[in-house]
Amino acid sequence: MNILSHIHIHRLPNPSGVGRVIDRLLTTHKELYPEHTHRMLVDGHLYDDVYLNLDDHWKTASFIPHKLRTSRQQAKWVWRNKPVAENFWPGVDLVYCPAESFVPIKNAKLVCTIHDVAGFEDSLYPDSPSKRLHCFKWTALFNRMAKYADAVVTVSEFSATRIAHYFPALKNKLHVIYNAPHHIFGMDSSEPLRDEVEKLSGGQPFVLVPGGLSLRKNAQLIIDALPEFEQALPGVKLIIAGSNDQIYLDQLKASNASSVVLAGYVSDALLNALYQQAGAVWFPSRYEGFGMPVIEAMAAGAPVVTSSAASIPEVCENTGRLCDMDNTAEHISALGEALALNGTGREKEAEAGKKQAAKFTWEKSAQKLEQLFQSL
């Protein structure tokens, strides 16, 4: 089978989030099914910019560049339904879009992806001109998928339900293929990485917040909880990894909290070391299509305190401590329980987390993707 994947190539260097999915799912599928021929349709301008930063296994991939910038090319595909995929590769049998995009086809099969529909949720983003513009553009894209895609992949039953709520025409085309943690999570950390964690924590016990501070990650609850956090958990640092929205950085500065450490972007290797040494991983997110940090932390053996919102209960099942996303006291109490775990208790919790994380692998996901391809 000749498979043409339209990918956002700028997401591949140091991949996270959707970039991680593109990297791991396509790479694993290619490894498991070498009988297929894979080619990648990419923005030619971005290809020139990022090629040298790609991992070696991507540098040997076969790329087909399109001449327009991604946004203009996508608009042309959505609004004019051309050029078709066969113009880029006449022999293509199937077009796969592992992120939210659409490529018109003539005779080939088309499989698209929608990770979530968070931008449409009124409970998350109130009405505004920017939201209306966002919804207008994504509605046009998803309506194209509804009309022309043979199948649409999403990453959880929760996401499938919400997509079908907003776009009923997609309901019968949806297929759930879960994400998975990278194999690095759970590997032994090197001494230099452990030393780096020591520097960040100042040698004190710490709670790790992965994903940074944003509305979607429930940053307001974290900031509002800081006085109670410092009172209930004296001497415990709060290390926040990832990018942070300025509005929350301003509030954080005004709070004068002494426990917070802003680590910024961290590599997967350092994130794994942080997971492993954290007294608890705190991820009180308001909305996730899947919830990658939760399953990464479990794979690394960390006690997890998270919210009972969106897809998270589906991914956690009976593992971890799930709290009401708006209940500050509940979160602080759960963090105290996690930090109080003794050696045996922590080992038991780590074992349960690793067992849950092991249910999600890129091999399983690639196999489900192949079954979907073969069914079309």
Query: Does residue 302 share a domain with residue 338?
Result: yes
Tokens of 250: 């301003």
186 within a domain of the structure (yes/no): no
The whole-number pLDDT of residue 245 equals 96
78 within a domain of the structure (yes/no): yes
- Domain with 268 in it: what CATH number? 3.40.50.2000
Residue 103: alpha-carbon gap to chain centroid: 23
**What is the tally of structural domains in the chain?**
2
As a whole number of angstroms, the distance between CA 277 and CA 194 comes to 8
Query: Does residue 353 share a domain with residue 365?
Result: no
Task: Write out the residue range of the structural domain in which residue 7 sits.
Answer: 2-180+361-375
Average pLDDT by stretches of 10, the chain with 376 residues: 96 86 95 97 92 90 94 95 97 97 98 97 90 95 98 98 98 98 95 97 97 96 97 97 96 94 95 98 97 97 97 96 97 97 93 97 98 98
Query: Does residue 262 share a domain with residue 173?
Result: no
Query: Does residue 233 share a domain with residue 160?
Result: no
126 within a domain of the structure (yes/no): yes
As a whole number of angstroms, the distance between CA 128 and CA 176 comes to 31
> Between 191-201 and 268-277, two packed helices, what is the crossing angle to 10 degrees?
70
pTM for the structure as a whole:
0.94
